[in-house]
Chains A and B, each alone.
Chain A
Amino acid sequence: MSNAFKWIAIVAVAALALLPFVPGAVDAYYFSFLFFVFLYAIMAQSWNLVAGYGGQISLGSHAFFGLGAYTTAILWTGNYLWGSLYDTHPGIYYFDPVTMALGGVVAALAAAIIGLPLLSKLRGDYFALGTLGFGEIVKVLFVNGGDFTGSAFGIVAPAGMFDTLRPHYWVALGLMVATALAIGALMRSRYGLAMIAVRDDEMAASANGIDVLKVKVAAFAGSAFIAGVAGSLYTFYIFHVGPDSVFDLDWMLLPLMMTVVGGTGTLLGPILGALVMYAVFDLARIVVPDYHPVISGLTIILAMLFLPKGLMRSFAGKARLA
């Protein structure tokens, strides 16, 4: 990444971080728009990690997003973490880093458990279908989870905590930047080298000492961790965690489209894709509410026809990491 570009990125992030201090910004439409762009960018990074860099097309992101959301809601409403502290500090679960991290850990564990059999037996399209099936299974389990998961209705977290969107905005921005930095560092390390090797040629990778299954499962679990944390963040926004909202296929499909449009296997593609595609989706929803899926669909078709490699590779040149 060039030095000039690094400075542009730093200035952009700083400007975004200071935006909530601008009078009136928090109440403006674009404020919640940006929050969703950040959230989708995190999900897109999650998909890009396993599919773009790891070469394993997963269609189960929504399951990990939902697992993170539910984990947060269950820990919070059941007060499984902080005991009596919760009585004295009623806000302790709200944006609690431990709760959010556990959302990621539960999703990552689920990915590791399901990833071992799936990734050792299934390849390519079959793995993709396996993850899609896993998503449906998880959803059904939560619908039938009784009081623990709130069944078909789900769980309502104490929505009284909410008074401004500022923390959501900052945390989402911070997580988006942290995810990009972490994935950037990972891809420059020996582990990133192994991931690209496995993506490019599994047989050559194993003939050169790489434990292919381990790399695949790790990429899948890492991707799930990111999705789980994003799901946790969403709980603090939506408060009502239900099977139809957090296990919605859109949590998988939209980040997938955003990554493909932005540039699969690039570091900034998912962020750029999230910004562009979410703008298109939202604009279509406002301007032509009756036809908005048509506009969104057309945009994706046009992007695939004219920018098959994604925005990053079409305009930013060759660099894999750029």
Chain B
Amino acid sequence: MQPDETLLRLEAVQKRFGGLVVLNNVDIAVGPNELIGLIGPNGAGKSTLFNVITAIYAPTQGRVLFRGKDITGIAPHRISRLGIARTFQLVRTFLTMTAFENVMVGAVYGAGGRVKHATEAANAALELVGLTARRDMRTAHMTLSDRRMLEIARAVASDPALLLLDEPMAGLNPTEIQRMVDVIRRVRAERGLSMLWVEHKVDAIMKVCSRVIVLDHGEKIADGTPREVTQNRKVIEAYLGEPAA
């Protein structure tokens, strides 16, 4: 991969909370239109990694580069405007707004910074995740699965180059999970953006992603195709423990 093609690059990122090292020396590169799964046991540092990328936390050491530009520790709203959108593990929609208004926030204030064509962008994003029929429904009255879809629509409407998905399937039933997989595939196919996807449902990641990164105790222990990763001894140990013999 050419260095200038890399969209997001994490260089030796370390994050410490007091004496606790949550991320240690993590290097990650995300290329254009890549769909990368990020997995790891509980407490592996996946959400912290997202929070470092989106500048909710500043890393203790290391740098975050986006399109070759150092974005370590700049304000979160500027990260969004540069083209990194995200969803949250505990869904964060604007509850007193309608679905359409939620998505408008992304369209108006995100990377697109659209004022003129914001309405079209918002409607297209709702269409993409299949929420057109709920356009004028108050978010407070929507189901969890619809709110998760709405978060993705809001992120897509902000016209990002990179989308970070933080456990979009948490709390969804099998039917809704299938719907989410379809939406993630459609977003990638139609928008051509890169995605970094944290998920506990490893089987979904293995089915959909072209590349998988595994974190354990704050360190990157594997990075490769789903096939490579599932055969990696360190990964098996992290999930199942060391062999008895």
Mark out the residues of chain B between 91 and 123 whose CB falls within 8 Å of any chain A CB in the assembled complex. Answer: 92-97, 101, 104-106, 108-111, 113, 115, 118
Task: Please tell me which one of the listed residues A204, A212, A320 contacts residue B92 in the complex, with CB atoms under 8 A apart.
Answer: A204
Pair B88/A208 contact, Cβ less than 8 Å: no
A197, A203, A209, A210 — which one has the most chain B CB atoms within 10 A of its CB? A209
Of B6-14, B73-81, B124-132, B205-213, the stretch lying at the interface with chain A is B73-81
Given contacts A205-B105, A208-B110, A209-B81, contact A190 B115 (CB under 8 A): yes
Nearest chain B CB to A316's CB is how many angstroms away? Answer: 16
Pair B94/A212 contact, Cβ less than 8 Å: no
Nearest chain A CB to B51's CB is how many angstroms away? Answer: 10
A194, A199, A207, A320 — which one has the most chain B CB atoms within 10 A of its CB? A207
B108, B115, B154 — which one has the most chain A CB atoms within 10 A of its CB? B108
* Chain A residues positioned under 8 Å from B111 (CB to CB): 209
Mark out the residues of chain A between 129 and 149 whose CB falls within 8 Å of any chain B CB in the assembled complex. Answer: none
* Chain B residues positioned under 8 Å from A210 (CB to CB): 77, 105, 109
Nearest chain A CB to B229's CB is how many angstroms away? Answer: 29
Q: Is B236 an interface residue (CB 8 A)?
A: no
* Chain B residues positioned under 8 Å from A182 (CB to CB): none
A197, A205, A211 — which one has the most chain B CB atoms within 10 A of its CB? A197
Cα A187 to Cα B202 in complex, Å, equals 44
Pair B81/A206 contact, Cβ less than 8 Å: no
Pair A209/B77 contact, Cβ less than 8 Å: yes
Q: Is B54 an interface residue (CB 8 A)?
A: yes
* Chain A residues positioned under 8 Å from B94 (CB to CB): 196-197, 200-201, 204-205
- Give the interface size bracket for B toward A: 20 to 34
Cα A201 to Cα B158 in complex, Å, equals 17
Q: Mark A44-80, 1 if CB is under 8 A from B, else 0.
A: 0000000000000000000000000000000000000
Pair A193/B86 contact, Cβ less than 8 Å: no
Given contacts A193-B105, A193-B108, A194-B105, contact A208 B154 (CB under 8 A): yes
| Cβ-closest chain B residue relative to A265 | B96
* Chain B residues positioned under 8 Å from A190 (CB to CB): 108-109, 115, 118
Task: Please tell me which one of the listed residues B85, B96, B109 contacts residue A200 in the complex, with CB atoms under 8 A apart.
Answer: B96
Q: Is B28 an interface residue (CB 8 A)?
A: no
* Chain A residues positioned under 8 Å from B113 (CB to CB): 209
Cα A190 to Cα B77 in complex, Å, equals 16
Q: Is B56 an interface residue (CB 8 A)?
A: yes
| Cβ-closest chain B residue relative to A203 | B92
* Chain B residues positioned under 8 Å from A207 (CB to CB): 54, 76-77, 79-80, 85-86, 88, 92
Pair A320/B85 contact, Cβ less than 8 Å: no
Pair A200/B88 contact, Cβ less than 8 Å: no
Pair A208/B96 contact, Cβ less than 8 Å: no
Cα A208 to Cα B88 in complex, Å, equals 12
Nearest chain A CB to B104's CB is how many angstroms away? Answer: 6
Cα A196 to Cα B75 in complex, Å, equals 20
Cα A207 to Cα B111 in complex, Å, equals 11
Pair A211/B77 contact, Cβ less than 8 Å: yes
Mark out the residues of chain A between 281 and 318 whose CB falls within 8 Å of any chain B CB in the assembled complex. Answer: 318
Q: Taking A200-B95, A204-B93 as given, write out 6 further A-B residue pairs in contact, using a Cβ cutoff of 8 Å, ordered by the A residue number.
A: A196-B97, A196-B101, A197-B97, A205-B94, A206-B76, A208-B105
A: which residues have CB within 8 A of B?
190, 193-194, 196-197, 199-201, 203-212, 265, 318, 320
> What are 29 sample pairs from A and B whose C-beta atoms fall under 8 A apart?
A190-B118, A194-B108, A194-B109, A197-B94, A197-B97, A197-B109, A199-B96, A200-B93, A200-B94, A200-B97, A201-B92, A203-B56, A203-B88, A203-B92, A204-B88, A204-B92, A204-B94, A205-B77, A206-B76, A207-B54, A208-B85, A208-B105, A208-B109, A208-B110, A208-B154, A209-B81, A210-B109, A265-B96, A318-B138
